[in-house]
Amino acid sequence: MVNLNLGLLSGTKNLKSITVGFRIPYYTQWGQHLLVCGSEPVLGSWNAKKGLLLSPYHQDGELIWSGSVPVPAEFECEYSYYVVDEERNVLRWEVGNKRKLLLPDGTQSGHLVEFHDLWQTGSDGLPFRSAFKNVIFRKSWSLKIERPRGVAHQELHQEDLLADSVGVQFKVCCPNIEEGTSICVIGSPLKLGQWKARGGLKLNYTGESVWQADLEAGSNRETTVDFSHSQPKYVVCSDGLMREMPWRGAGVAIPMFSIRSEEDLGVGEFLDLKLLVDWAVESGFHLVQLLPINDTSVHGMWWDSYPYSSLSVFALHPLYLRVQALSDTIPEDVKQEIEQARLRLDGKDVDYEATMATKLSIAKKIFAQEKEIILNSSSFQKFFSENKDWLKPYAAFCFLRDFFETSDRSQWGSYAHFSEKKLEKLVSTDSLHHEIICFHYYTQFHLHIQLSEAADYARKNGVILKGDLPIGVDRNSVDTWVYPNLFRMNTSTGAPPDYFDKNGQNWGFPTYNWEEMSKDNYAWWRARLMQMAKYFTAYRIDHILGFFRIWELPDHAMTGLCGKFRPSIPLSQEELEAEGIWDFDRLTCPRISRELLEDKFGASWTIIASIFMKEFQKDLYEFKEDSNTEKKIASKLKSSLEKLMLLGIEEKLRQQIFDLLKDIVLIRDPEDPRKFYPRFNMEDTLSFKDLDDHSKNTLKRLYYDYYFHRQESLWRQNAMKTLPVLLNSSDMLACGEDLGLIPSCVHPVMQELGLIGLRIQRMPSEPGLEFGIPSQYAYMTVCAPSCHDCSTLRAWWEEDEGRRQRFFQTFLGSNNSPPDQCIPEIANFILQQHVEAPSMWSIFPLQDLLALKKEYTTRPAAEETINDPTNPKHYWRYRVHVTLEALLKDKDLIAVIKDLVRGSGRSYPSQELEVSELKGTVPEKQQVVADGLEKAPQTNGISRKETVAVL
């Protein structure tokens, strides 16, 4: 388990104090150093500039860093290791929990106590996340503490230790251990059982999944301890996580609104999650994944079905309220209304507007009956006290939105600008509209109760509830009203052209003002994550690339093509001029000739030119001031349709004019006219094709440098400022949606921070592949055959004959024609590829699981798609066509899914199954820290020996 060859320690022994030494193997680059920083002044008080700098030496092919420092008796603290440069600027740090330094009992003045550690990566901290600690491994974490951590056995006290002996303390973290099982250390000496588990050194449980035991090591003739400089009295060997087979699990994904039950009113409801948890457990799943569930009621119409456009990042969506559960004394006429609504709204798809209107109407009737009882209850008072910081602004915003009939706060008169004084006046108990304000409190209170009940049920049944953290908030939201300084309101977020859309995506959210957010250590983000953690034990970070850099568009853009990355290093005018590029007006403005207009619009070109353009040279045109942005063009086009007599082709005409506007090579920075950004896919523009060869070659080189090299260090630094704050804000397990144009810095940072990535087979991150190969996925990934942003497995199979044939040939090695339909055998094969993948998680959309049974494939496959990313006004309304109650009764489908999960080696929810399968695999039900078992390969300088020496 541990190599006890001791290295030279820096510093001298202080006989009037205890000397604490540190030793850690770690590979660094030239100019990098390791230091220890901790909670006490002697280790810098968490100031890396004042930490203990370690010295390097080579031993057995490893680079070892060591150092020592005198400390007083009974000293204790927390500490971590950091990589720094020559000026002690922090380059990276350990991501796991802070280490605890506790001196062994019996340590006396003059003793040297050495701590032998291994570098903690982000993945080392995953077992301490609530998903594992409180759900999957919850029984292990409830073990009885056998003795406090750091306390040595009596036989190792000073009076008992021989002069040439050393007290060795073994520590290992094992978060997943069966009841009645113990951990032992085995080795060649008699005290370690001579490689037999029966006689090994049994470790004691010290809490927080840490196991510990002590041993008196004899003279050098009996041990492999090398005292080349000074002999320690105690060696504390922390061997990180137990080196066992990696834990792997499976889950199901479905949007909250898509769930169907016998009780719901036209849409999935929080209490339906209890049925979904039951089905997940029956089917062998440890996880249920949802889309965002925050309130999106911005427009008061079906546009609000878009779950990623939050009205509030704290408030839950009233859409998911079960009105039947609001009271035990609902009047009979209201009960009848509820039943009628249940039948009326039980359609194929979600009717967003009718469902919202019905639920709010019924909730108001019940509220009128019981408001005094609820609002004066201790449970409501506790909820209000804990949530008032966001709840009061949310209720006030909802009132103003409904009063002014718009969420556009510029139309709210004196309330357009938020202030605490105005807020308190709006929500005061003596205001005329106080009852309306209280209704919004009331709905949030019941949503909290219902979701909390479902979340508790999931935890108790060993199922992780996984939420979704949207990358943006709506421009007209509570958050931008209360904290406008945290957002860049003159911009929009989106994504550059990709698999989904050649014109890129424009999500319409304002980008974040990270500089302003950093001033209070990202308090808004921390509060947001803490709120999520009340209900979820895991979460998906939507578009994690946005924490490295965001695709930023001007607020006058409608499409997503002409953007730039923020932050990024632009091309300066001086840099371009040095390369022989100087005609900036030519490169930043559309080059529109009469010939081009005639070719694009035919005989109608003169009408188009007269409305939107002006001639500035003979047969050369530029856009007029009132038509020089996409939003201006769209507005003018709408008002000019009669004149154009083109009422039937507005969308096509708008896109053609947009194409002219976007035909540029460089984008000038609106805040600094001497800075420029290469337009995405600039080589496709007519403007670029008309350039001379020197300009083309120069701009192509600068383009690839800007998009693929120039920004990497900057983007890494940006992510390392923000992502650790998110991860440390809660103990939820974090997964990152890392699809799209991936900078090379992203995956190393995710690995370092312990973030789990996403792999979709038809959107491989590996260059040159048409299909991802699940058997080659890394462990720190979630693999899935499809997701909410693409077509389902069945639709994907049926929509492209050529791709279907290539897939069939690639994975089945067959030149035969595959079936046109995604029959259950095809679905089973593809799902089996994923469930057998090395990925930590295989998570399957419910639609893909239903494809395993023929009777669930009668609905047209295209109707099962959740989202169409190319359509900014897509209606998010898919509902599963079978109820959860019916799925629970379908034992045939459950049996097929069970067989898939059980045959893959993934963890199965049934504890009885796990115990019975493990019986007989380990002697005497002991998990043994044995020779040759090792973790997956580590990077970032971490040294891990494949074979380890044991005493």
**pLDDT tens, 811-852?**
888 888 899 999 999 999 999 999 999 999 999 999 999 999
Residue 296: φ, ψ to 5°: -120, 20
Q: 540-573 burial, b if ≥16 CB within 10 A, otherwise e?
A: bbbbbbbbbbbbbbbeebbbbbbbbbbbbebbeb
pLDDT digits (tens, 9 = 90+) for 566-594: 999 999 999 999 999 999 999 999 989 99
3-state SS string over 63-116?
EEEEEEEEECCCCEEEEEEEEECCCCCEEEECCCCCEEEECCCCCCCCCEEEEE
Residue 664 has pLDDT above 80, yes or no: yes
- Spatial distance between the Cα atoms of 362 and 364, rounded to a whole number of angstroms: 5
Q: What is the CA radius of gyration of the chain?
A: 32
Beta bridge partners of 172: 211
**Amino acid at the residue 418:** F
List of residues 6+ apart from 447 with CB closer than 8 A:
270, 316, 317, 318, 320, 321
CB of 642 closer than 8 Å to CB of 610:
no
Question: Is residue 903 within a helix (H) or strand (E), and if so which, with residue range?
Answer: helix 891-903
Phi, psi of 650 (to 5 degrees): -60, -45
CA distance to 261, 445, 518, 567, 710, per residue, from 547 (Å): 37, 32, 13, 10, 17
Which amino acid is it at 166? Answer: V
Task: Tell me the mean pLDDT in the region 662-684.
Answer: 95
Q: What is the arithmetic mean of pLDDT over 374-380?
A: 97
Task: Tell whether omega for the bond before 748 is within 30 degrees of 0, i.e. cis.
Answer: no
The per-residue DSSP string of 401-450 comes to: HHHHT-S-GGGSGGGGS--HHHHHHHH-TTSTTHHHHHHHHHHHHHHHHH
Beta strands in 785-849 (DSSP E): 841-845
Q: 882 and 261 in contact (C-beta within 8 Å)? A: no
Q: State residue 294's pLDDT score.
A: 98
Q: What is the pTM of this model?
A: 0.88
| CA atoms of 836 and 905, how far apart (whole Å) | 7
The answer on pLDDT for 854 being more than 70 is yes
The burial class, CB within 10 Å (0-12 / 13-18 / 19+), for 805 is middle
CB 37 within 8 A of CB 46: yes
Provide the sign of the torsion angle of the four alpha carbons 845, 849, 854, 855, taken in this order: negative
Bridge partners of residue 623, in order along the sequence? 613
**Above 50 in pLDDT, residue 945?**
no
Return the pLDDT at 16.
Answer: 63
When the pLDDT of each residue in the chain is averaged and rounded to a whole number, the result is: 88
pLDDT in the model for residue 911: 44
Lowest mean pLDDT among 55-64, 498-507, 645-654: 645-654
- The DSSP code for 50 is G
Helix axes 434-460, 378-404, angle to 10 degrees: 120
Residue 61's pLDDT band, with cuts at 50, 70 and 90, is: confident
Both tokens of 682, joined, read: 């600039």
Q: Are strands 620-623 and 613-617 parallel, antiparallel or unpaired?
A: antiparallel
Residue 218 confidence (pLDDT): 58
- pLDDT band for position 642 (50/70/90)? low
Q: Which two tokens stand for residue 640?
A: 């000019």
**586 CB burial (10 A radius; 0-12, 13-18, 19+):** middle
Contact 612, 536 (CB under 8 A): no
Distance from chain centroid for Cα 236: 35
The reported pLDDT for the residue numbered 162 is: 53
Rounded distance, CA 275 to CA 285, Å?
13
Cβ proximity of 540 and 531 under 8 Å: no
Q: Classify the phi-psi angles of 920: left when phi > 0, otherwise alpha if psi is within -120 to 50, otherwise beta.
A: left
Dmax over CA atoms of the chain, in Å, equals 104
In three-state secondary structure terms, 675 is strand
Q: Look at residues 797, 821, 799 and name the one whose alpha carbon lies nearest to residue 807.
A: 797
- Is the C-alpha dihedral spanning 692, 694, 697, 701 positive or negative? negative
Tell me how far apart the alpha carbons of residues 88 and 33 are, in angstroms, rounded to a whole number.
Answer: 8
Provide the β-strand partners of residue 207: 210
Q: Is the pLDDT of residue 917 over 80?
A: no
Cβ-based neighbour number of residue 643 at 10 Å? 10
User: What is the percent of the chain where pLDDT is above 70?
Assistant: 89
Q: pLDDT tens digit string along 296-342?
A: 999 999 999 999 999 999 999 999 999 999 999 999 999 999 999 99
Whose tokens are 């966001």? That residue is: 390
3-class DSSP state of 716: helix
